[in-house]
Amino acid sequence: MMDTQCGTSNEVIDPIKPDLDTEDWYSKLKEDELFNGPEGPAPRLHGLRRLARPFIKSERSQVNALIVVPRQMVKELDHKNGEGALMSTSEVIAVQNFPMASVTFFIELQDGRIFSDSADAYYMNCNELGLYPTAVASARAEARTLRKVLGIKQHAAEELSDKDASEELAPDDSSPIKPEQVKLIERLLGQSDTTLKDILTNITTREVHSIEEITTGEARKALRTLNDMKKKKPKKEAKK
């Protein structure tokens, strides 16, 4: 009896791999896979996953660290009388602890190449998801790795943050205001319809009579508030 084999083939199928040099993968993203960020459209993670899925053999994430980051903050205390009426308000220095996570994501392609990248997440570089640093860091690390696979230079939406780095990283300095800060505040106040007292209402409970009396830290916050107000102010229509 002769054995016969059906449906077999010795044909070698080349592994699929993206053409990182010539293929424009960014242009293949759909409308709902793009986020309109401050520097232009940013790719979303689910879009990057869709494009890279045919090339991926395996993937994994690794938590490098999960630590607690302490931060000193000014806390307001209200002092009330026995009837619950507010008598006075004072400021104290309080310490709050925030979780921070660092994650590395690994992707192995069908052609054997391995890509990886890392990301971290904590209160300074997160928005509303700051309470879930591991999930945020993992998504960022995956997005960065997928961008490497696809050769996309634009930052992913998951990597973006609206936090002001100069504000978050600067110390809450209690030294006297700097001359250049005085000039900037005076100029911005002159261009607005608000007063220094209005600006300082949400910055300090101290009684301040002039710009020269505020601290460097308070001046920095006042400048940020004035700049935000300037951006939101509607532009006047040109006269015809």
| DSSP character string of 40-101 | EEEE-HHHHHHHHGGGEEEEEEEEEEEEEEEEEEEEEEEEE-TTS-EEEEEEEEEEEEEEEE
Angle between helices 45-52 and 133-150 (to 10 degrees): 40
User: Which of 116-123's residues contact partners 24+ apart within 8 Å by CB, and which partners?
Assistant: 116/145, 117/141, 117/144, 117/145, 117/148, 118/64, 118/144, 119/144, 119/159, 122/69, 122/98, 123/69, 123/71, 123/98
User: Looking at residue 191, what is its pLDDT?
Assistant: 86
Average pLDDT, the chain: 81
User: Looking at residue 240, what is its pLDDT?
Assistant: 44
For 212, residues 6+ apart whose C-beta sits below 8 A from its C-beta are 176, 177, 182
pLDDT tens-digit readout, 93-152: 767 777 889 999 999 999 899 999 999 988 778 765 557 889 999 999 999 999 999 999
For 148, residues 6+ apart whose C-beta sits below 8 A from its C-beta are 115, 117
Q: What is the mean pLDDT of residues 212-234?
A: 82
Cα separation, 94 vs 75, whole angstroms: 6
**pTM here?**
0.59
> Half-sphere exposure (CA, 13 Å, Cβ side) for 213?
9
Q: Give whole-number Cα distances, 124 to 105, 161, 165, 194, 221, in Å.
A: 21, 9, 8, 29, 16
User: Looking at residue 7, what is its pLDDT?
Assistant: 43
Residue 74 banded pLDDT, cuts 50, 70, 90: low
> Among candidates 163, 118, 107, which has minimal Cα distance to 140?
118
Confidence check: pLDDT of 236 > 60: no
Cα separation, 56 vs 73, whole angstroms: 45
User: Looking at residue 99, what is its pLDDT?
Assistant: 84
Q: Which residues pair with 71 in a beta bridge?
A: 96
∠ CA(93), CA(95), CA(96), 5° rounding?
Answer: 135
> Six-digit token pair at 71?
């931060």
